[in-house]
Amino acid sequence: MNEPPPRPDPDALLALAQREGRGRLKVFLGAAPGVGKTYEMLGEAHRIRAAGADVVIGLVETHGRQDTVARIGELELLPRRQIPYRGQALEEFDLDGALARRPAVLLVDELAHSNAPGSRHPKRWQDVEELRDAGIEVWTAMNVQHLESLSEDVARITGIRVQETVPDHVLAGADTVELIDIPPTELLERMRQGKVYRPDQAARALKGFFREGNLAALRQIALRRTAERVDADVTGYMRANAISGPWPSTDRVLALVGRDATAEEVVRQARRIADALHAPLLALHVEMLGAAAGLSPSPALRLAEQLGAEVETTVARDLPAAVLRHARAHNATHLVIGRGRPGFWRRLAGRTLTAALVRQAGSFTLHLVPAPSGVTPRIRREAAGLPHWAAWIAVPAMAGVTTALSLWADGAVPEGGLGMIYLAGVVALAAMLGPAAAAAGALLSFLLWDFFFLLPRYTFAMSGMQEFTGAAIFFCVALLLAGTTGGLGRSVSTARARLYGMRRLVELSRRLSAASSTGDLLSVIAQEAGGLADRPACVLLPLDEEPVVRAARPIEAEPDAASMAAARWALARGTRAGHATDALPSADWQFRPIRTANGVMGLLGLQMTGGVSREIDAERDRALDALIDQAAVALERAQLMEAHARNAARAETEALRSALLASIGHDLRTPLTSIRGALETLQASGRQLSDAVRDDLLATAREETVRLARYLGNVIDIVRLESGQVAPKREPVDLADAIRVAAERVTRRSGRAITLELEPRLPEPRLDPVLLDQILANLLDNAQKFSEAGTPILVRAARRGPEVAIAVEDRGIGVPPDQLTQIFDPFFRVRRGDAAPAGSGLGLAICRGLTHAMGGRITAESPIEHGRGARMTIHLPA
pLDDT tens digits for 265-306?
Answer: 899 899 999 888 878 899 998 877 655 555 556 678 878 887
- The most confident of 15-29, 243-257, 569-583, 699-713, by mean pLDDT: 569-583
* Same domain flag for 233 and 279: no
Which residue would you say has higher pLDDT here, 780 or 382? 780
* Same domain flag for 41 and 133: yes
Q: How confident is the model at residue 106 (pLDDT cuts 50, 70, 90)?
A: very high
The pLDDT of residue 75 is above 70: yes
Please give the pLDDT value at position 576: 87
Please give the pLDDT value at position 516: 66
Q: Report the pLDDT averaged over residues 472-492.
A: 62
Q: Report the pLDDT averaged over residues 846-874.
A: 84
Q: Edge-to-edge strands of the sheet including 137-143? A: 76-77, 55-59, 105-108, 137-143, 25-30, 176-180
CB atoms within 10 A of CB 146: 21
Mean per-residue pLDDT over the chain, rounded: 77
Is 246 domain-assigned? Answer: no
* Same domain flag for 746 and 716: no
Is 523 domain-assigned? Answer: no
Q: Report the pLDDT averaged over residues 451-477.
A: 68
Q: Report the pLDDT averaged over residues 37-52.
A: 91
* Same domain flag for 226 and 264: no
Among 687, 702, 722, the domain-final residue is 722
Asked whether the beta carbons of 551 and 539 are under 8 A apart, the reply is yes
Asked whether the beta carbons of 481 and 426 are under 8 A apart, the reply is yes
CATH code of the domain in which 576 resides? 3.30.450.40
Q: How confident is the model at residue 376 (pLDDT cuts 50, 70, 90)?
A: very low
Minimum mean pLDDT among 570-579, 688-697, 763-772: which range?
688-697
Asked whether the beta carbons of 591 and 570 are under 8 A apart, the reply is yes
* Same domain flag for 226 and 129: yes
Please give the pLDDT value at position 138: 94
Q: What tens digit of pLDDT does each residue of 711-728 get?
A: 666 666 666 655 565 667
Listing DSSP states for 715-746 in one string gives HHHHHHHHTT------EE--HHHHHHHHHHHH
Q: Which residues pair with 286 in a beta bridge?
A: 314
Query: Cβ neighbours of residue 154 under 8 Å, at least 6 residues apart?
Result: 145, 160, 161, 162, 218, 221
Q: What tens digit of pLDDT does each residue of 205-228 get?
A: 676 677 777 778 788 888 877 777
Q: What tens digit of pLDDT does each residue of 391-418 get?
A: 667 778 887 888 888 788 777 777 666 7
Minimum mean pLDDT among 458-462, 464-468, 873-877: which range?
464-468
CATH code of the domain in which 832 resides? 3.30.565.10
Please give the pLDDT value at position 413: 72
The count of structural domains within the chain is 6
Please give the pLDDT value at position 99: 92
Please give the pLDDT value at position 107: 94
- Alpha carbon 132 to its chain centroid, in Å, reads 31
Is 682 domain-assigned? Answer: yes
Q: How confident is the model at residue 742 (pLDDT cuts 50, 70, 90)?
A: confident
Residue 793: enclosing H or E segment and its boundaries?
A: strand 793-800
Q: How confident is the model at residue 236 (pLDDT cuts 50, 70, 90)?
A: low
The pLDDT of residue 538 is above 90: yes
CA distances from 154 to 161, 184, 229, 428, 719 (A): 7, 16, 19, 66, 46
* Same domain flag for 423 and 555: no
Distance between CA atoms of 593 and 562, rounded to whole angstroms?
Answer: 18
Q: Which residues pair with 590 in a beta bridge?
A: 578, 606
What 3-state DSSP class applies to 817? Answer: helix
* Same domain flag for 393 and 313: no
The boundaries of the domain holding residue 680 are: 654-722
Please give the pLDDT value at position 27: 92
Which residue would you say has higher pLDDT here, 338 or 415? 338
Which residue would you say has higher pLDDT here, 387 or 830? 830
Strand positions, DSSP E, 289-404: 310-316, 334-338, 365-369
Among 587, 605, 636, the domain-final residue is 636
Q: How confident is the model at residue 248 (pLDDT cuts 50, 70, 90)?
A: low
* Same domain flag for 694 and 572: no
Determine if residue 798 is left, alpha or beta; phi over 0 gives left, psi from -120 to 50 gives alpha, anything else beta: beta
Is 379 domain-assigned? Answer: no
Q: How confident is the model at residue 98 (pLDDT cuts 50, 70, 90)?
A: very high
Among 464, 490, 516, the domain-final residue is 490
Burial of 559: CB neighbours in 10 Å, binned 0-12, 13-18, 19+: buried
Which residue would you say has higher pLDDT here, 33 or 211? 33
Asked whether the beta carbons of 683 and 698 are under 8 A apart, the reply is no
Is 483 domain-assigned? Answer: yes
Is 409 domain-assigned? Answer: yes
Pairing of strands 546-553, 537-543: antiparallel
CATH code of the domain in which 670 resides? 1.10.287.130
* Same domain flag for 603 and 554: yes
Query: Cβ neighbours of residue 579 under 8 Å, at least 6 residues apart?
Result: 585, 586, 587, 588, 589, 590, 608, 609
The pLDDT of residue 436 is above 80: no
The pLDDT of residue 613 is above 80: no
- The most confident of 272-276, 356-360, 488-492, by mean pLDDT: 272-276
Please give the pLDDT value at position 102: 92
Is 708 domain-assigned? Answer: yes
Distance between CA atoms of 649 and 643, rounded to whole angstroms?
Answer: 10
* Same domain flag for 196 and 76: yes
Handedness of CA 173, 174, 176, 178 (dihedral sign): negative
Which residue would you say has higher pLDDT here, 604 or 865? 604
Please give the pLDDT value at position 835: 45
**For residues 102, 108, 113 and 116, what is the CA-based torsion angle, rounded to 10 degrees?**
-40
Asked whether the beta carbons of 758 and 785 are under 8 A apart, the reply is no
* Same domain flag for 397 and 363: no
The pLDDT of residue 1 is above 50: no
What 3-state DSSP class applies to 338? Answer: strand
CA distances from 837 to 660, 784, 840 (A): 18, 11, 9
Q: Report the pLDDT averaged over residues 43-51.
A: 92
Q: What tens digit of pLDDT does each residue of 795-828 get?
A: 999 988 888 899 999 888 888 887 777 787 776 7
Is 526 domain-assigned? Answer: no
Which residue would you say has higher pLDDT here, 512 or 478? 512
The percent of residues above 70 in pLDDT, for the chain, comes to: 73
Q: How confident is the model at residue 606 (pLDDT cuts 50, 70, 90)?
A: very high
Distance between CA atoms of 603 and 576, rounded to whole angstroms?
Answer: 9
Please give the pLDDT value at position 715: 65
Pairing of strands 281-288, 310-316: parallel
Burial of 445: CB neighbours in 10 Å, binned 0-12, 13-18, 19+: buried
Please give the pLDDT value at position 377: 42
Which residue would you say has higher pLDDT here, 716 or 521? 521
The pLDDT of residue 875 is above 70: yes
Q: Report the pLDDT averaged over residues 305-328.
A: 82
Q: How confident is the model at residue 839 (pLDDT cuts 50, 70, 90)?
A: low
CATH code of the domain in which 322 resides? 3.40.50.620
- Alpha carbon 312 to its chain centroid, in Å, reads 18
What 3-state DSSP class applies to 389? Answer: helix
* Same domain flag for 549 and 673: no
The pLDDT of residue 111 is above 60: yes
